[in-house]
Amino acid sequence: MKTEFSIAQLANPDIAEADKILRACVHCGFCTATCPTYVLLGDELDSPRGRIYLIKEMLEKNRPPTREVVKHIDRCLSCLACMTTCPSGVNYMHLVDQARVRIEKEYTRPLSERVLRKALAWVLPRPGLFRAAMILARFTRPLSTLLPAAKTESPTPTLLRRLNAMLALAPRSLQPPGASAGRVFAAQGEKRGRVALLQGCAQQVLAPRINQAAINLLTRHGIEVVLVKDEQCCGALTHHLGDDEDALGRARANITVWLKEAEQNGLDAILVTTSGCGTVIKDYGYMLREDRDFAAAAAKISALAMDISEYVVRISLQPAQQPRDIVVAYHSACSLQHGQQPRDIVVAYHSACSLQHGQKITQAPKELLSKNGFVVKDVPESHLCCGSAGTYNILQPDIANQLRDRKVANIAMVTPDMIAAGNIGCMVQIASGTSVPVVHTIELLDWATGGPKPGIN
Ligand code: SF4
Ligand code: SF4
């Protein structure tokens, strides 16, 4: 794509980067076929190519973001399916991230939207506040019947539809908080490694059982696990809302404490059980590339970050239990129909966008599940997002619900006993549309290698 940035514009490193990305695009349109919003809405401006044009115009002409530009950028899920499809290697992620920051700085949203976005950015990264909000949501959930439901015919959300979506996603019960920051879990038997485990923010409130399963499995296999003190939310939530000041502040704080831990006690990896967070931590090096004080440290931390499945695939797991043993345990846990013949558990593997498109991890979770006794089924249209996408299912509930329903219908086609995923956002989103149990991949692996049955909410 031809660009016409001036020399003065190109002196700005962000614009220089955008120029490089835009020039890589040959406007072939292959990406439109796999873009969820284009598939649903059929509007070129809701496709990657359309959005690339809108961003180019905004940056090149140095125009303030218009209502139209904001509408189409807001509808982008940042699922990155377009990056997987693009034959020219266009880095759409860095381009749309830049557009979101510009919108956040230069566009004035309606007051109700500003308040909602600020509230999400304030509450979600703070586990204490988020837990309090979830308890409140449980009591106010009955009010959701008074609020307007999502619409399919006009995907322009109102504040009330967004509030309704928020209530619908709140869990009916909460587990007690998991292990606290600063704890070190000793390796059992001969020590084979030492890792930090990201504690996360929303996940530690919604499903502390996930990190507990990771700790169980890792320590049982000789890996010492540390929950680093003073670690914060990774910044993914505010990064996707365009609030880079907050996101970069959190990145710097995490880099400082992780690097200290790595230098003082040694770390083989920083493991992440929420792939949305993993994608952003792996991008810290890029996000802080112009920060003289942090660029080198950020690159080191990004290199240390790994999805839990990437790490577990490298250690040899204890032999799996016999499938029949697992089935018997599963029957008692999940009350499959009485009298049903024992058989292998069929797991529909939901490939989170942040894992398959953001981190290009597609095989490791499935291989691990198969090797450990589960029958793994791919979900049709697995490249399409489930509609979760951070805060997207709250801010764009109409599109998010359509994508969830499509995902759930595709999952139903493989008639699974369980659904496995590697991202809490997807788990909550999919669980809101199906009665099939949704668990994290690591919970199944922990169970299959001697840990407890997954505690499904
Ligand atoms: S597939 Fe890549 S090169 Fe083709 S239009 Fe989309 S972003 Fe541009
Ligand atoms: S990130 Fe996803 S929603 Fe956004 S343009 Fe790319 S494919 Fe479409």
CATH number at residue 202: 1.20.1050
Give the number of the atom of ligand 2 that is nearest the alpha carbon of residue 80. 1
- Contact 88 CB / ligand 1 (< 6 Å): yes
> CATH code at 48?
1.10.1060.10
In a domain, 371, yes or no: yes
Are 136 and 251 part of one and the same domain? Answer: no
Tell how far the Cα of 22 is from the centroid of ligand 1, in angstroms.
10
Residue nearest to atom 8 of ligand 2 (CA): 35
| Res 153: pLDDT | 55
pLDDT > 70? residue 140: yes
Q: Give the pLDDT score at 150.
A: 61
| CATH number of the domain residue 378 falls in | 3.40.50.1860
| 178 in a structural domain | no
Q: CA quadruple 171, 176, 181, 184: dihedral positive or negative?
A: negative
Last residue of a domain, one of 292, 312, 332: 312
Choose the residue to mutate in 27, 37, 91 for probing ligand 2, maximizing ligand atoms within 8 Å of C-beta: 37
- What burial class does residue 388 get, using C-beta atoms within 10 Å of its C-beta: 0-12 exposed, 13-18 middle, 19+ buried? buried
Q: Letter for the amino acid at 239?
A: H
Look at residue 457 and tell me if it is in a domain: no
Please tell me the number of the ligand nearest to residue 36's CA: 2
User: Which of 249, 254, 299, 292 lies closest to 272, judged by CA?
Assistant: 254
For residue 347, how far is its CA from the centre of ligand 1 (angstroms)? 34
Q: Is residue 86 part of a domain?
A: yes
- For residues 12 and 32, what is the distance between their CA atoms, to the nearest angstrom? 30
What residue owns the CA closest to ligand 2's atom 5?
Answer: 48
Identify whether 256 is part of a domain: yes
The 10s digit of each residue's pLDDT in 313-371 is 999 888 665 444 444 444 444 434 433 333 479 999 999 999 999 999 999 999 999 99
- Asked if the model's pLDDT at residue 198 lies above 80, the reply is yes
According to the model, what pLDDT value does residue 171 have? 80
39 CA → ligand 2 middle, Å:
10
Instruction: Give the strand order in the sheet containing 346-349.
Output: 375-378, 346-349, 418-421, 438-440
Are 89 and 11 in the same domain? yes
Range from 158-167, 189-198, 330-339 carrying the lowest mean pLDDT? 330-339
Closest Cα partner for 176 from 139, 137, 209?
209
Considering the domain boundaries, does residue 317 fall inside one?
no
Q: Are 329 and 438 within one domain?
A: yes
Task: Report the mean per-residue pLDDT for the chain.
Answer: 91
Strand partners, 376: 347
Residue 23, ligand 1, Cβ within 6 A = no
Measured from the Cβ of residue 57, the count of other Cβ atoms closer than 10 Å reads: 12
Same domain, 37 and 102: yes
Q: Whose CA is nearest to atom 2 of ligand 2?
A: 79
Instruction: Establish whether residue 326 lines the binding site of ligand 1, counting it when its CB lies within 6 angstroms of any ligand atom.
Output: no
At 21-75, the pLDDT tens digits run: 999 999 999 999 999 999 999 999 999 999 999 999 999 999 999 999 999 999 9
Closest ligand 2 atom to residue 78 Cα is 1
304, 197 in Cβ contact below 8 A? Answer: no
Asked if residue 90 has its Cβ within 6 Å of ligand 1, the reply is yes
| Ligand 1 pocket, mutate which of 82, 83, 91, 357 (most atoms under 8 A from CB) | 82
Pocket around ligand 2: residues whose beta carbon is below 6 Å from it? 35-37, 48, 51, 76-82, 92
188, 305: one domain: yes
Residues 118 and 75 in one domain: no
pLDDT single digits (tens) 205-234: 999 999 999 999 999 999 999 999 999 999
Taking CA 438 as the corner, what is the angle to CA 435 and CA 444, rounded to the nearest 5 degrees?
Answer: 140
Ligand 1 proximity of 29 Cβ (cutoff 6 Å): yes
| 373 domain residue, yes or no | yes
- C-alpha 257 to ligand 2 mean position (Å): 33
Ligand 2, closest atom to CA 81? 7
CB contact at 8 A, 359 and 432 = no
pTM for the predicted model, two decimal places: 0.91
Q: How high is the pLDDT of residue 173? A: 81
Q: Do 328 and 389 share a domain, yes or no? A: yes
| 95 shares its domain with 206 | no
User: Counting atoms of ligand 1 from 1, which one is nearest the CA of 27?
Assistant: 5
The percentage of residues in the chain with a pLDDT greater than 90, rounded to a whole number, is 80
pLDDT of the residue at 148: 67
Could you tell me if residue 318 is inside a domain?
A: no
Q: How far is the CA of 101 from the centre of ligand 1 (A)?
A: 22
Final residue before a domain boundary, out of 119, 141, 169 = 169
134 and 230 inside one domain:
no
Our count of domains for the chain comes to 4
Q: Do both 434 and 360 map to the same domain?
A: yes
Q: Is 78 left (phi over 0), alpha (psi -120 to 50) or beta?
A: left
Same domain, 115 and 102: no
Dihedrals phi, psi of 291, to nearest 5 degrees: -95, 105
- Domain of 27 in residue numbering reads as 7-106
Residue 319 CA to ligand 2 centre (angstroms)? 40
Residue 287: predicted pLDDT: 97
Domain boundary among the residues 106, 136, 161 is at: 106
Q: Closest ligand to 25 CA?
A: 1
Among 7-21, 159-173, 426-440, the minimum mean pLDDT is found in 159-173
Kindly state whether residues 341 and 411 are assigned to the same domain: yes
Is pLDDT of 77 > 80?
A: yes
